Amino acid sequence: MNTIIISAIFGVLMMFSSISVKRVSAYKYIAAFGLILLLIMNIAETYGFQLFHVNTRDMLRFDRFGLFFNSIAIAATLIYILLSGRDVEAVGKNTCDLFVLIFFVMCGIGIMSSFNSLLMLFLGIEIISIPLYILTGSDKKNLKSNEAALKYFLMGSFSTGIMLMGIALLFGATGGFALDRPATMFGPLPVNVMEVIGLAFILVAMAFKVSAAPFHFWTPDVYDGAPSVFTSFMATIVKAAIFIGFIKLFEAKAPDLGQGWHIVIALMIVATLFIGNITAIFQQSVKRMLAYSSIAQAGFMMFALFSQNDTSKEGIILYSLAYSLSTIGIFAILIKMKDVTFEGFNGLARTQPVLAATNAVFLLSLVGIPLTAGFWAKYYMLASVVKMESALWLVIVAVIFAAVSVYYYFRVIQAMYFKEGEAALATEVKPGFRFGLILLAAAIIVIGVMPNLLLNWLYF
């Protein structure tokens, strides 16, 4: 509850701070302060301290898993603001409002990690999506940004419509919005066709929001067109939050769906991995490659949806963090580059050794090389499926595609270290930024060596 309320109130307060605070460079510190406050309050709530006692009538249910995810999302956003806050200032005139929108997204994330009613799921998705439409189009003078925003808005609202239809069908079938199965006098309500169709609709809409194939078509255009700072935010923290909601929803509903559910999800995973990885190979722009890589990573995150056991729960937490941190780092470097094609990275190791070295760590983490956080993230995901003992073929497919992904991630490393060229930066890099990158890379390696350092927080 703390996260939802404080992020909303702080968002409104910050909105008004733009009236009195005129110095543009001050906003990112205000935002960072707000996020630290949010983080402290969320951790306090994890250990039983609530600022407000609101009767949510069981529409929201706060559990350890959701609150811990909130902490991770807030911490990742804080890192994101500290690393890329200066680049938000470069986007448009209304800098303060852009930060405010990020706070409103945090409010939506708080709902996504705690909803217990389909209505709240819908609200959470919308509170996340609407600020994102605006952030995508925030570079008003840029035609590509406008195109991306319009595309995202039209397709996003369409998918929301499909989701609402699904929720309506579910309501018709079960007579309520609650996630728990309603009981009748004669035991639990039997599953009927309408409910399955409704769930299929919601599955389509959620798959759209996390950009899983075959609903991924918007992703490359939107991620490519949006200002890079916001692509970084959309592709990482927001996507992980929607995955948490996705998993929460189908953890409650999947037992009703029987065996067919696993086949559908397995097909979606294979399609997502295939399209994401194979298309990423052919990209010339690193930004667009990262958009496809985010589709491919979504395929891995869907393993948590497939297996739904304890390992997968730990896995999705690890995956959210590992993937978010690495991608935020790569984007933070990408924004500074003058040329975002692979050639633009040629010879970066000579001109900017720190940037190149940290970028290499982030890329290795995305590939899933041991000693980086990404390795354990992928390990837990695959282990959760291995534990099911029924879908080993899926694990083999995933490993093959993980090997394919090495090609396009290593292309960047190859460009940075082994190609001749003068990689030019668009903006001057400050020592603080380098220091932040080093800390981030260190964090990724620390989690890569000792993942339990993170996972223990889930239980203690």
Partner 1 sequence: MGIFPFLLQAQTAANTSANYLPIGIQLFFAIAIVVVIMVVTHWLGPKRKTADKLATFTSGIPSHGDARQPMSVKYFLVAILFVLFDVEVIFFYPYAVNFKQLGWDGFLAVLMFVGFFLCGFIYIIKKGALKWED
19 or 185: CB nearest partner 1: 19
12 or 154: CB nearest partner 1: 12
47 residue type, one letter: Y
30 or 413: CB nearest partner 1: 30
Least distance CB 107 / partner 1 (angstroms): 13
Least distance CB 220 / partner 1 (angstroms): 30
54 binds partner 1 (CB under 8 A): no
97 or 314: CB nearest partner 1: 97
Least distance CB 271 / partner 1 (angstroms): 40
16 or 418: CB nearest partner 1: 16
Among the residue ranges 15-23, 101-109, 215-223, 329-337, the one whose residues contact partner 1 (CB under 8 A): 15-23
18-48 burial, b at 16+ Cβ within 10 Å, e below that, comes to beeeeeeeebbebbbebbeebbebbbebbee
CA 145 to chain centre: 20
Q: How many Cα atoms occupy the beta-carbon half-sphere of 340 within 13 Å?
A: 19
15 or 119: CB nearest partner 1: 15
15 binds partner 1 (CB under 8 A): yes
CA separation for the pair 304, 90 (Å, rounded): 37
134 binds partner 1 (CB under 8 A): no
Phi and psi of 187, rounded to 5°? 90, -170
15 or 264: CB nearest partner 1: 15
Among the residue ranges 12-20, 37-45, 186-194, 375-383, the one whose residues contact partner 1 (CB under 8 A): 12-20
CA separation for the pair 344, 415 (Å, rounded): 8
11 or 198: CB nearest partner 1: 11
Site for partner 1 in 210-239 (CB under 8 A): none
Distances 430 to 84, 86, 355 between C-alpha atoms, Å: 12, 11, 11
CA separation for the pair 271, 237 (Å, rounded): 23
- Going by C-beta distance under 8 Å and a sequence separation of 6 or more, which residues neighbour residue 223? 148, 231, 234, 235, 287, 288, 290, 291, 294
Least distance CB 12 / partner 1 (angstroms): 5
CA separation for the pair 242, 179 (Å, rounded): 17
Q: Which residue has the tokens 């690495």?
A: 326
Report CA dihedral (317, 111, 232, 280) to the nearest 10 degrees: 60
C-alpha gyration radius of the chain? 21
19 binds partner 1 (CB under 8 A): yes
Least distance CB 114 / partner 1 (angstroms): 20
Distances 200 to 12, 155, 180, 352 between C-alpha atoms, Å: 37, 18, 18, 49
Q: Which residue has the tokens 């490393």?
A: 413
38 or 100: CB nearest partner 1: 100
- Of the candidates 281, 314, 274, which has an alpha carbon nearest to the alpha carbon of residue 298? 274
Give Dmax (Cα) for the chain.
75
Least distance CB 89 / partner 1 (angstroms): 18
267 binds partner 1 (CB under 8 A): no
281 binds partner 1 (CB under 8 A): no
12 or 281: CB nearest partner 1: 12
Q: Which tokens sit at 303?
A: 């393993």
96 or 229: CB nearest partner 1: 96
Least distance CB 353 / partner 1 (angstroms): 45
CA separation for the pair 168, 170 (Å, rounded): 5
Tell me which of 16, 49, 158, 407 binds partner 1, using CB under 8 A: 16
Binding-residue total with partner 1 (CB under 8 A): 4
Among the residue ranges 14-22, 181-189, 203-211, 437-445, the one whose residues contact partner 1 (CB under 8 A): 14-22
Least distance CB 113 / partner 1 (angstroms): 23
In a 10 Å sphere around its CB, with 0-12 CB exposed, 13-18 middle and 19+ buried, how is residue 178 labelled?
middle
Among the residue ranges 9-17, 135-143, 399-407, 411-419, the one whose residues contact partner 1 (CB under 8 A): 9-17
12 binds partner 1 (CB under 8 A): yes
Q: Which residues bind partner 1 (CB under 8 A)?
A: 12, 15-16, 19
